[in-house]
Structure 1
Amino acid sequence: MTNKILILFAFIAVTAVNTINAQVPSNAEDVSPLLIGERVPEATLIDPDGNKLTLKSVIKEKPTVLVFYRGGWCPYCNAQLSGLSESESKILELGYQIIAISPDNYKNLKPTMQEDNVAYSLYSDPEAKLIQDIGIGFETPSMAKMYIKKKTKMDATDILPVPTVMVLNTSGEILFEYINPNYKVRLSESLLLSALKALKDDM
């Protein structure tokens, strides 16, 4: 009887794991992100010094340009982060802050900030949990895992985000979003600034 119960528990546990894994799409084109008008879920992030903090505590200060990037190993992400640095003064003048989140190990955040001349905040999303909860995560391709390990000397997370830009109010409501499964195509500065100006006029 005891053996049967143990086998049943083991079956339930394996089924639960498989169900969780099945919820993460294998392709970037198959993600199902939260929509404009919905609120981002609460999450625990890690800053470049290894300190834990909540997403809520970060976004409550002012409206936020929230960027999800694949990692500091990605040249397209680096170009995007650098471009945001160049636009940061204009974004701040409009009353917004910028934060960028990736599944990178927090130890990789400072090198990325230095390489891309980033003054705004970068955070790590441990195990890509927030990325999954927002619905922009997909399984890291095997070739990407090998590339990431070669570049960072660390194991890649099992999940990557589709590159995403969201604009949030201080309550975490999504006011605007740009999500493109083609990681080579990023939101332009002009479109972002136009959206921020339009949203500010409506606030």
Structure 2
Amino acid sequence: MTLQARLDAFKADFEAGKPPYNVPPAVIETMHRATAELIASGAAGRALKAGDRAPAFTLPDPDGRPVSSAALLAEGPLVVSFYRGVWCPYCNMELQALQAALPAFEAVGAKLLAISPQSAPNSRKSARQNGLAFPILSDAGNEVAAAFGLRFRLPDYLVELYKSLKNDLPAFNGDDSWTLPMPGRFVIDRDGTILYAEVNPDYTRRPEPEELLPAIRRAAEAAA
């Protein structure tokens, strides 16, 4: 089953209120409203695109060790996935799919890492829960996400919904900004040029990891 098929199946069960979710229709309507407004805002169109320069960054891994994009790019192309957090089932399914694709990425010399605004303990949970063998980095305040054009603030009505659902982003992330990244995937060449960019304001839509491989192979061939 493809990643998107898995996401669609989960979404259908969740929005139908099937056990164990039992989500009221009003909750689904509010989530749809927020997604529609983010799409209409045009925010995704302002994110970095293929051909742009990727901002350099250094972020801590779950053990507090700094991980530098420049150091990783010195070794080969870099695949970067921005995700919302361990509390997001769509993100967890995408992380699992990326883990399954990791050998294919590594076979052509690429490194893979994922970035979220969550705190180190929650990043450790992400890695453990999803069986990940690639770095999970903490982007406090979504500062690096903002540099890529992905950060947005949740509207007040969605903040209130999250609070009612006990989805406490300040607790997950260690800051009270109530911001998230739009999910985004980037392939960055060794010189810092973005070769592939996919950003979707609808968090239930994610590209198949295999879609990144042509850009990774181009980078590998150019370096050979």
TM-score, scaled to structure 1:
0.77
Aligned runs of 1:157-176 on 2, under 5 Å?
Answer: 157-176=177-196
Structure 2 residue aligned with 1:117, among 128, 131, 143? 131
SS at match of 2:112: strand
Larger Rg: 1
**Corresponding residue number in structure 2 for 1:73:** 87
Aligned length: 178
CA distance in 2 between counterparts of 1:190 and 1:55 reads: 22
Q: Runs of 5+ in structure 2 lacking a partner?
A: 1-36
Partners of 2:222 and 2:56 lie apart in 1 by 25
Indicate the residue corresponding to 1:27 in structure 2.
38
Identity of aligned residues (%): 29
- Partner Cα separation in structure 1 for residue 126 and residue 195 of structure 2: 28
Deviations for 1:137-157, whole angstroms, at most 9, x for unmatched residues? 11134134654328x666565
Q: Tell me if structure 2 keeps the 8 A contact 1:101–1:122.
A: yes
Aligned with residue 177 of structure 1, among 197, 204, 208: 197
> Which residue in the other structure is 2:50 paired with?
36
Letter in 1 for 2:38: N
**Deviation digits for residues 63-91 of structure 1 (CA, Å, limit 9, x no counterpart):** 01111111111100000000111111111
What is the rounded CA distance, in whole Å, between the counterparts of 2:88 and 2:58 in structure 1?
23
Alignment pair present for 1:49 and 2:49: no
Partner of 1:191: 211
Code of the aligned partner of 1:173: T
SS in 1 for 2:190: coil
Task: Check whether the contact 2:122–2:172 (CA below 8 A) recurs between aligned residues.
Answer: no
TM-score normalised by L of structure 2:
0.70
Conserved in 1, the CA contact under 8 Å of 2:140 and 2:173?
no
**Matched residue of 1:182: which SS?**
coil
Deviation at 1:101, TM superposition (A): 0.5
Change (3 A) 1:103 1:164: same
Secondary structure in structure 2 of the residue aligned to 1:27: helix
Question: Could you tell me which amino acid in structure 2 is paired with residue 123 of structure 1?
Answer: L
> Matched residues in 2 for 1:53 and 1:41: separation?
14
Task: Establish whether residue 60 from structure 1 lines up as the match of residue 60 from structure 2.
Answer: no
Give the residue type in structure 2 aligned to 1:97. K
> Kindly tell me: are residues 118 and 201 of structure 1, through their superposed partners in 2, closer, same or farther at Cα, counting changes over 3 Å?
same
The one-letter code matched in structure 2 to 1:197 is R
Partners of 2:77 and 2:219 in 1: CA distance: 10
Q: Which residue of 1 aligns with 2:9?
A: none
RMSD: 2.5
- Please tell me whether the aligned partners of residues 44 and 125 of structure 1 are also in contact (alpha carbons under 8 angstroms): no
Unpaired stretches in structure 1, ≥5 consecutive residues: 1-25
Check conservation: 2:83, 2:91, Cα contact below 8 A. Answer: yes
